[in-house]
């Protein structure tokens, strides 16, 4: 049976991931643990989780497809990630953790008031599941390209499985599986890249052929691609979108799980180092597909909307030893589960902690206790999962655009006007508490009204970058306009704003504010799970392969096992230290 080995690998791996959710469930004692791991996460666990949350299957489909088409131009988003990672690691991640919030809208309430918080919560409730649907679609494209199944079937099945294990164990389970995913995905990415380079006479030959294929081009002339893509203007627009999205206050929740500010900064720097290191391993297989396997890309016509988005799949299918393709699939699966957590676990926290309480108050019902919040959060996550699957199925019917264009369009039209005022207000302390409402209203509505006027009446055709500039101008105009209403703020509101910035700059005292840590338990549990994972990898030597293929599998298993062993030894060291300090 074709793909039997891959089916077995995927099945066993998913069972293992489900077991991880059950194991990590014991870390959850209340809703705070479920939503932000009780603010006890360590940097080494957070760093890979943060990176994996931005490395879904869409990176291996949408982004690599864009690189296949245009060379280095699409990497402007990755360059922005590196810059923002350094800023986060320098000071901003600590600021975010020091807001001492559990969910994003709680920060919004403190800085901008309850009205803005409710608007943001409802927008977030809609926007994050949409983002999750894009990630699920990216995974569906990848798996569909491997197995040849219809895309809608793949999206439906994978969405159900992702929902099961994202909902089960909360934030602890997500971070644990993210860490294990990184030990699956990155070694396999490195392996694929090495096998790609071995297809060429030398590294110089690889770059020479890449240059001949136009893959080293950074900037393209206007008109070379649809909608003004990959020009200087487009590159700056994409950089700006990513820069604003990564640094704005609404994404502060990524660092709420950290023990304190220094831990959050180290996690951000670790995330950036992983991202920078792995960048080449996205590029090399995509370049190889364009140089050696371009004719095979046409085989995916009709199977997925944009065949070039199968470029990374083609390289893997041609080069990996038997059984290893299954590992690539499960790595994509788990990375997507991490991204979908934004639309499930985190968003359920927003709904339960920020949307439901005002509704219950209006209905004159008592507030929920921690256990009731935990149960409701899981129920809400299930409903969100159903919505994500349905929307992803709808997006899969889009025939005129690939996933990369859909993601960029969503980021520009929806995410950017919401994010920009949240970045500006982070540094402009004098910004009125109404500035986000005015900015979002202007940035979301005015461009839709103005674009037809500019194009039909003035005869100026707006490309993607022009639309981003128009959205930015409208958003900033709303931000400036809000100053007209600043005098209406009460002294109490002004004091709250001052207090927000003061608290954000005040370091967290972990022992006083949180209590005891569980570093030893994190190290031991994740270390043991990593050793089990390494044993599973080693079992792949039973799959028929030549000596070289088996050697690669042994090397992969040994590398993962060494990480697990280090974690277990560190846990034992902490235990010995704890015992010696006991009276």
Render 326-344 in DSSP notation, one character per residue. HHHHHHHHHHHHHHHHHHT
Q: Where are the domains of the chain?
A: 4-517, 522-583
pLDDT tier at 1, thresholds 50, 70, 90: very low
- C-alpha 30/C-alpha 35 separation (Å) is 9
Mean pLDDT of 310-314: 87
DSSP string, 59-76: IIIIIHHHHHHHTTGGGH
Whole-angstrom Cα distance, residue 221 to residue 235? 12
Residues in the chain, overall count? 583
Task: Report yes or no: 116 and 434 within 8 Å, Cβ to Cβ.
Answer: yes
Average pLDDT over residues 136-165: 73
Question: Is the model more confident about 347 or about 212?
Answer: 212
pLDDT of residue 247: 94
Least confident among 79-88, 181-190, 445-454: 181-190
**Which of the two residues, 499 and 33, has the higher pLDDT score?**
499
Half-sphere exposure of 557 (CA within 13 A, CB side): 16
CA dist., res. 472 & res. 560, Å (int): 45
Please, are residues 133 and 159 in contact by the beta-carbon 8 Å criterion? no
Mapping DSSP to helix (H, G, I), strand (E, B) and coil, where does residue 258 land?
strand
Residue 2's pLDDT is: 52
pLDDT of 353 reads 75
CB atoms within 10 A of CB 103: 24
pLDDT per position as a tens digit, 67-107:
999 999 999 988 999 999 999 999 999 999 999 888 777 88
The CA radius of gyration of the chain, in Å to the nearest whole number, is 24
* 243, pLDDT greater than 70: yes
Which residue, 182, 169, 164, is CA-closest to 14?
164
Alpha helices in 198-323 (DSSP H): 203-212, 232-247, 261-292, 294-297, 311-319
User: Residue 346: helix, strand or coil by DSSP?
Assistant: helix
Between 350 and 493, the more confident residue is: 493
Torsion, CA 565, CA 570, CA 576, CA 580, rounded to 10:
170
Does pLDDT of 33 surpass 50? yes
**CATH 3.40.50.300 assigned to 4-517:** no
Q: Is the per-residue pLDDT at 349 higher than 90? A: no
DSSP of 524-549, one letter per residue? HHHHHHHHHHHHHHHGGGGS---HHH
Mapped onto helix, strand or coil, the DSSP state of residue 511 is: helix
Q: For residue 322, what is the DSSP state?
A: T
Enumerate the H helices of 148-169 as residue ranges: 151-168
Alpha-carbon distance of 200 to 207, in angstroms, equals 10
Task: Report the pLDDT value the prediction gives residue 20, as an integer from 0 to 100.
Answer: 79
Residue 343 pLDDT greater than 70, yes or no: no
Rounded distance, CA 105 to CA 112, Å?
Answer: 10
Tell me how far apart the alpha carbons of residues 543 and 324 are, in angstroms, rounded to a whole number: 10
Does residue 322 contact residue 148 with C-beta atoms inside 8 Å?
no
Q: Residues 369-380: what's their mean pLDDT?
A: 75
Burial class of residue 400, CB neighbours in 10 A (0-12, 13-18, 19+): exposed
What's the angle, vertex CA 83, arms to CA 258 and CA 136, rounded to 5? Answer: 65
User: What would the mean pLDDT of 534-538 be, rounded to a whole number?
Assistant: 91
Percentage of residues of the chain with pLDDT beyond 70: 89
- Is 70 exceeded by the pLDDT of residue 127? yes
Is-above-0.95 flag for pTM? no
User: Could you tell me the sign of the dihedral formed by the alpha carbons of 391, 392, 396, 398, in that order?
Assistant: positive
pLDDT at position 345 is: 63
- Mean pLDDT over 279-289 rounds to 91
Per-residue pLDDT band for 35 (boundaries 50, 70, 90) equals low
pLDDT digits (tens, 9 = 90+) for 472-531: 999 999 999 999 988 888 999 999 999 999 999 999 988 888 877 788 888 999 999 999
> Which of 41-45, 48-52, 169-173 is predicted least confidently?
169-173
In this prediction, residues 262-275 reach a mean pLDDT of: 94
Displacement of CA 295 from its chain's centroid (Å): 32
Separation between Cα atoms, residue 26 and residue 496, nearest integer Å: 37
- Quickly count: other Cβ atoms within 10 Å of residue 223's Cβ: 9
pLDDT interval class at 216 (50, 70, 90) = very high
Closest CA to 185 of 27, 367, 52: 52
Q: What is the DSSP letter of 507?
A: P
């Amino acid at each position: 049976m074709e793909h039997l080995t891959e089916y077995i690998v995927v099945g066993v791996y998913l069972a293992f991931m489900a077991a991880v959710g059950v194991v990590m469930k014991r870390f959850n004692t209340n809703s705070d643990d479920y939503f932000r791991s009780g603010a006890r996460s360590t940097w080494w666990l957070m760093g890979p989780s943060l990176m994996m949350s931005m490395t879904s299957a869409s990176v291996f489909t949408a982004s690599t497809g864009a690189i296949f088409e245009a060379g280095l131009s699409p990497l402007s988003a990755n360059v922005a990630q590196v810059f923002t990672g350094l800023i986060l690691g320098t000071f901003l991640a600590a600021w975010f953790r020091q807001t001492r919030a559990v969910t994003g809208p709680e920060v919004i309430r403190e800085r901008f008031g309850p009205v803005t918080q409710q608007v943001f919560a409802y927008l977030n409730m809609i926007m994050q599941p949409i983002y999750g649907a894009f990630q699920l679609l990216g995974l569906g494209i990848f798996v569909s390209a491997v197995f040849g199944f219809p895309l809608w079937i793949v999206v439906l099945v994978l969405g159900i499985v992702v929902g099961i294990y994202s909902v089960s164990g909360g934030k602890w389970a997500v971070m644990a599986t993210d860490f294990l995913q990184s030990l699956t995905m990155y070694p396999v990415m490195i392996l694929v890249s090495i096998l790609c380079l071995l297809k060429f006479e030398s590294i110089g030959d690889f770059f020479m052929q890449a240059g001949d294929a136009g893959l080293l081009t950074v900037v393209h002339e206007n008109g070379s691609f649809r909608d003004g893509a990959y020009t200087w203007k487009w590159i700056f627009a994409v950089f700006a979108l990513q820069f604003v999205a990564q640094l704005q206050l609404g994404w502060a929740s990524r660092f709420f799980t950290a023990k304190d500010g220094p831990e959050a900064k180290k996690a951000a720097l670790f995330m950036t180092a992983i991202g920078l290191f792995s960048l080449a391993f996205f590029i090399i297989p995509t370049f190889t597909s364009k140089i050696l396997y371009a004719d095979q890309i046409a085989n995916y016509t009709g199977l997925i909307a944009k065949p070039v988005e199968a470029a990374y799949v083609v390289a893997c299918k041609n080069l990996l030893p038997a059984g290893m393709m299954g590992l690539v699939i499960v790595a994509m699966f788990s990375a997507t589960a991490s991204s979908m957590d934004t639309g499930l676990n985190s968003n359920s926290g927003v709904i339960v902690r920020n949307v439901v309480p005002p509704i219950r108050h209006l209905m004159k019902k008592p507030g929920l206790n921690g256990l009731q919040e935990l149960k409701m959060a899981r129920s809400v996550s299930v409903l969100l999962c159903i919505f994500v699957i349905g929307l992803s199925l709808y997006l899969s019917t889009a025939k005129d655009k690939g996933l990369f264009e859909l993601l960029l369009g969503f980021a520009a039209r929806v995410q950017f006007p919401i994010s920009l005022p949240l970045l500006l207000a982070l540094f402009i302390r004098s910004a009125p508490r109404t500035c986000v409402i005015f900015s979002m209203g202007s940035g979301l509505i005015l461009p839709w009204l103005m674009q037809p006027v500019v194009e039909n009446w003035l005869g100026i055709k707006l490309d993607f970058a022009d639309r981003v500039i128009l959205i930015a101008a409208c958003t900033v105009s709303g931000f400036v306009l809000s100053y007209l209403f600043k005098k209406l703020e009460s002294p109490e509101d002004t004091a709250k704003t001052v207090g927000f910035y003061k608290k954000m700059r005040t370091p967290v005292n972990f022992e006083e504010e949180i209590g005891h840590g569980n570093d030893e338990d994190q190290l031991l549990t994740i270390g043991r799970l990593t050793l089990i994972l390494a044993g599973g990898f080693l079992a792949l030597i039973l799959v028929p392969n030549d000596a070289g293929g088996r050697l690669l599998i042994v090397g992969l298993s040994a590398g993962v096992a060494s990480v697990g062993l280090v974690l277990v030894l560190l846990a034992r060291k902490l235990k010995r230290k704890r015992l010696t300090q006991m009276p």
